[in-house]
Amino acid sequence: QLQLQESSPGLVKPSETLSLTCTVSGGSISSAFYYWGWIRQPPGKGLEWIGSISYSGNTYYKPSLKSRVTISVDTSKNQFSLRLSSVTAADTSVYYCARLGVQGASVHRPVDAFEIWGPGTMVTVSS
């Protein structure tokens, strides 16, 4: 059974770069051409998509975050990562990694439903 797990940096200082890694287990990140993504949720608020990446490294970002976001993939470690630069208190959120697309679908898209989620990790931006 496929499982995703976010790393937990916990606390990041304002103006610094937030770095998170998602480790995929129970399956290969390269299989079936799925896309992989990051979503965040500020405390008590709704969900916000950050970006997606294919196993081959093609990336798609939310336009309003694009200047600060880098998503990368390491197939040898079965991981993908998020870097968000110049963070402020507004970036304080629970960050989720997820697999896009539904098992059995004939086509996988960089923007799709999120079928499998990690448990999420809380990141606080504070000095």
The footprint of another protein (CB under 8 A) covers 46-49, 62-63, 96, 98, 102-103, 109, 111-115, 117-120
Name which of 14 and 26 has its Cβ closer to another protein: 26
Name which of 1 and 127 has its Cβ closer to another protein: 1
Structure tokens at 29: 């990140």
Asked whether the beta carbons of 121 and 41 are under 8 A apart, the reply is no
Closest distance between another protein and the C-beta of residue 125, in Å? 21
Q: What is the distance of C-alpha 26 from the center of its chain?
A: 18
Closest distance between another protein and the C-beta of residue 15, in Å? 27
Cβ burial, residue 96 (10 Å; 0-12/13-18/19+) = buried
Closest distance between another protein and the C-beta of residue 14, in Å? 26
Name which of 8 and 103 has its Cβ closer to another protein: 103
3-state helix, strand, coil in the chain (%, to 5): 5, 45, 50
